[in-house]
Chain A
Amino acid sequence: MDLLRQLRHFTVVGEELHFGRAAERLGMAQPPLSQRIRELERELGVELFDRSRRQVRLTPAGAVLLDEARELLAGVTRMRELVARAGRGEYGTLRVGVPPELPGSVLGAVLTEFAALAPEVQLELSEFTTAEQLQLLAGHGLDAGLVHHPLDPAAGLESGPVIEPPLGVVLPRVPPLAGEAASGGDITLAELAGRALVTYPREAAPALYDATLAACRDEGFHPVRVSTARSPEVMLGLVIAGHGVAFSHPAIARKEPRVVWRPLAPRAPLWRLVFAWPARAPHPAVAPLVRAATGILRGHEGGALAASGPVAEPAPRPWNAVYERS
């Protein structure tokens, strides 16, 4: 027997206090409705309606049940709505891993954007290295993670678009590099020759670590020493103290006026990120998260005009066009 349906029928009778009108409202015939109410009374072992007079009335037990049933039915409706919204990724908790080196300003922008897209999804953020995240994702300990690209195809994960944050080199401000680079130009790996390197520990992302060192060596930068730092703060500290140069997103270096950040010339190591999530039974809120994050991570630092490259000298400059309007 379907208790919820019985209760729904009961509340209508309880509101109408008339079996005929209640049956009409429920779109059914009266005899089966009366039968359902009798079944409910048998089930509960009480009389719900006083049928002794001309008019149907609720018994005290019936009155209590009417209140309870309304509350229960409202709870069920709410439950259905929440479950449906959770199914669409609009409600629930999303456990997301982020790498410790993600700049705070970028992370803040992602979270703000995601909150606007899915206001009722609670984000549970944790910092983990790529290696740790991959392990957690495999065991469904995380719903999604921002990890270094590429992924092992055998890992049972799906991933979003590849994000390539601007990568550059962090140097102590003093002493400056010789030549053009000191005035803010791009730096090639070869110009770093003779320096030490500060980077993340190999176990954090082994494939990336190996690829980075290989790219350095290929371009003639053989670090005289490699130190490791898990957090950006320690990395900056080591750079300031002269323990080496480091690769990072500009937003990290810009927090600290004692270092400078320079873009790396082409043929530098690439630190690409992707969002990954379990291929099996993914959390429905992963899609809006990836959408929000990809837009922000790609758009950070420079918009459309920045992407269009240098303005050719003879071309009229846009502000001139605006101001010269008459």
Chain B
Amino acid sequence: MNGTDITPTGELPDPPELLVPGGEIPYPPDLPHRFELLGARLWLHARCVDCGRAAGHAEDEPVVLASVVKVLLVLEFFRQAAAGQLDPAERAVVRAADRLGGTGTAGFHDDVELSLRDLALMTMSVSDNTAADILFRRVGRDTVQALARQLGLERAQVTGAPREVLESMLEDLGAADADAFASAFAALPAEEVHRLRALDPARTTSATPREMTRLLSLVWNDRAGAAAACAGVRELMSLQVNGARLGAAFDRFTTVAAKSGTLPGVRNEIGVVTYPDGARYAIAVFTRTTSLSTRRPDLDTAIGGAGREVVEGLRGCCGRADLSSPPGD
């Protein structure tokens, strides 16, 4: 079954999982405490993409994904493209009503036409919410949820595109339009912001850290879809512009492919680091703060640092050097 992941029954082969006797390696024990000192709670999971050895903290609790969900979206996009269900060069127009603010086309002043694959590029490289909205519309919200199930992400729920997250906030605030929302949101006490559906893992797009490293392991082993689809996701994750989190924590000889997720009080990043010796580790770091600032360079640094410390604990796990025959094949 070269290039495809799905057996005739629709089952997906598991990624390598905990082949090392002794199970999980303890994460640095004071890590959660160090995040507490920064006013943050931590959820973390890291696993070797090749042998499956892993370490984590609260890794099975559901967390708000925020823009991290875009990895699933873009994977579904590439899978449909590989299956001939859509043409990646198909053109889409980003109109005024689509542009809800933020980075990329979401913040453009004028209508712009671009291909679906460039929407995917904008979605991943600068976390463009409008590009993601249009891609969601094209590939289907239900298909992204179905993909998560198909890949064995049992807890993952996809409640909609970024637009739906925003709509839930407008609804929760009872805001009639964008203008009313902007002023209402700015004046909202922090504890009420935390009560928004968009910040409740039970009622918005969410998954567990362990599921996210599973997803990355599947993508990095060409098991999350056709090889071309997995390669597409890997390439776009390597093009993320935000290098402040995992990207800043590793030296220039280590490549980092990642996707961030940010909402008020939420700071996340998932990614895969590849060392010069070929060892590859999937990392998922999720944090929540009571403060709502969306500018927290200290926390960005801590997120990267946590990822690196945990991975350093895993280093040498499978003594791999030979990339030509990935285990499990």
A257–B83 Cα gap in the complex (Å)?
Answer: 12
A319–B126 Cα gap in the complex (Å)?
Answer: 14
Query: Of the candidates B96, B292, B293, which one forms a contact with A310 in the assembled complex, judged by CB atoms under 8 Å apart?
Result: B96
A262–B190 Cα gap in the complex (Å)?
Answer: 44
Which A residues are CB-close (under 8 A) to B182? 315-318, 320-321
Query: Of the candidates B86, B87, B167, B179, which one forms a contact with A315 in the assembled complex, judged by CB atoms under 8 Å apart?
Result: B179
Q: Is the CB of B170 within 8 A of A316?
A: no
Complex interface: stretch among A37-45, A145-153, A200-208, A299-307: A299-307
Query: Of the candidates A257, A317, A323, A326, which one forms a contact with B99 in the assembled complex, judged by CB atoms under 8 Å apart?
Result: A317
Query: Of the candidates B90, B100, B109, B185, which one forms a contact with A257 in the assembled complex, judged by CB atoms under 8 Å apart?
Result: B90
Nearest CB of chain A from residue B65's CB, rounded to whole Å: 15
Nearest CB of chain A from residue B199's CB, rounded to whole Å: 11
B26 interface contact, C-beta 8 A: no
Q: Is the CB of B185 within 8 A of A317?
A: no
Q: Is the CB of B179 within 8 A of A316?
A: yes
Q: Is the CB of B102 within 8 A of A305?
A: no
- In the complex, the number of residue pairs spanning A and B with C-beta atoms less than 8 Å apart equals 108
A55 interface contact, C-beta 8 A: no
A324 interface contact, C-beta 8 A: yes
The verdict on A311 contacting B100 (CB below 8 Å), with A324-B294, A326-B292 known, is yes
A2 interface contact, C-beta 8 A: no
Query: Of the candidates A184, A304, A306, A321, which one forms a contact with B113 in the assembled complex, judged by CB atoms under 8 Å apart?
Result: A184
Nearest CB of chain B from residue A175's CB, rounded to whole Å: 15
A309–B179 Cα gap in the complex (Å)?
Answer: 13
Residues of A in contact (CB 8 Å), total: 31
Which A residues are CB-close (under 8 A) to B162? 319
- Main SS of chain A's interface residues? loop
Which A residues are CB-close (under 8 A) to B100? 305, 311, 317-319
The A-contacting residues of B in range 68-104, CB under 8 angstroms, are: 85-87, 90-93, 95-97, 99-102
B231 interface contact, C-beta 8 A: no
B313 interface contact, C-beta 8 A: no
The A-contacting residues of B in range 105-132, CB under 8 angstroms, are: 106-107, 109, 113, 129
The verdict on A325 contacting B101 (CB below 8 Å), with A305-B170, A315-B178 known, is no
Q: Is the CB of A317 within 8 A of B101?
A: yes
Query: Of the candidates B92, B97, B264, B292, which one forms a contact with A311 in the assembled complex, judged by CB atoms under 8 Å apart?
Result: B97
Q: Is the CB of A318 within 8 A of B97?
A: no
Closest to A316 in B: B182
Residues 185-208 of chain B, each 1 if its beta carbon lies under 8 Å from chain A, else 0: 110000001000000000000000
A185–B96 Cα gap in the complex (Å)?
Answer: 12
A306–B160 Cα gap in the complex (Å)?
Answer: 14
Which B residues are CB-close (under 8 A) to A312? 179
Q: Is the CB of B167 within 8 A of A319?
A: no
Residues of B in contact (CB 8 Å), total: 46
Residues 250-279 of chain A, each 1 if its beta carbon lies under 8 Å from chain B, else 0: 000011010000000000000000000000
Which A residues are CB-close (under 8 A) to B292? 325-326
The verdict on A313 contacting B109 (CB below 8 Å), with A303-B167, A304-B167, A322-B264 known, is yes
Q: Is the CB of B178 within 8 A of A309?
A: no
A310–B178 Cα gap in the complex (Å)?
Answer: 11
Query: Of the candidates A184, A255, A323, which one forms a contact with B294 in the assembled complex, judged by CB atoms under 8 Å apart?
Result: A323
Which B residues are CB-close (under 8 A) to A316? 101, 178-179, 182
A27–B193 Cα gap in the complex (Å)?
Answer: 61
Q: Is the CB of A318 within 8 A of B186?
A: no
The A-contacting residues of B in range 252-297, CB under 8 angstroms, are: 262-264, 292-295
B169 interface contact, C-beta 8 A: yes
A35 interface contact, C-beta 8 A: no
Nearest CB of chain A from residue B127's CB, rounded to whole Å: 10
A52 interface contact, C-beta 8 A: no
Q: Is the CB of B101 within 8 A of A306?
A: no
Nearest CB of chain B from residue A321's CB, rounded to whole Å: 4
Which B residues are CB-close (under 8 A) to A105? 140, 142
The B-contacting residues of A in range 207-222, CB under 8 angstroms, are: none
Q: Is the CB of A305 within 8 A of B181?
A: no
Q: Is the CB of B178 within 8 A of A326?
A: no
Q: Which of A183, A319, A320, A321 has the most CB of B within 10 A?
A: A319
Seen from chain A, the residues whose Cβ lies within 8 Å of a Cβ on chain B are 105, 109, 183-185, 254-255, 257, 301, 303-306, 308-313, 315-326
13 contacts between A and B (CB under 8 A): A105-B142, A183-B113, A184-B92, A305-B167, A310-B96, A311-B97, A316-B182, A318-B166, A323-B262, A325-B186, A325-B264, A325-B294, A326-B292
Seen from chain B, the residues whose Cβ lies within 8 Å of a Cβ on chain A are 85-87, 90-93, 95-97, 99-102, 106-107, 109, 113, 129, 137-138, 140, 142, 162-164, 166-167, 169-171, 177-179, 181-182, 185-186, 193, 262-264, 292-295
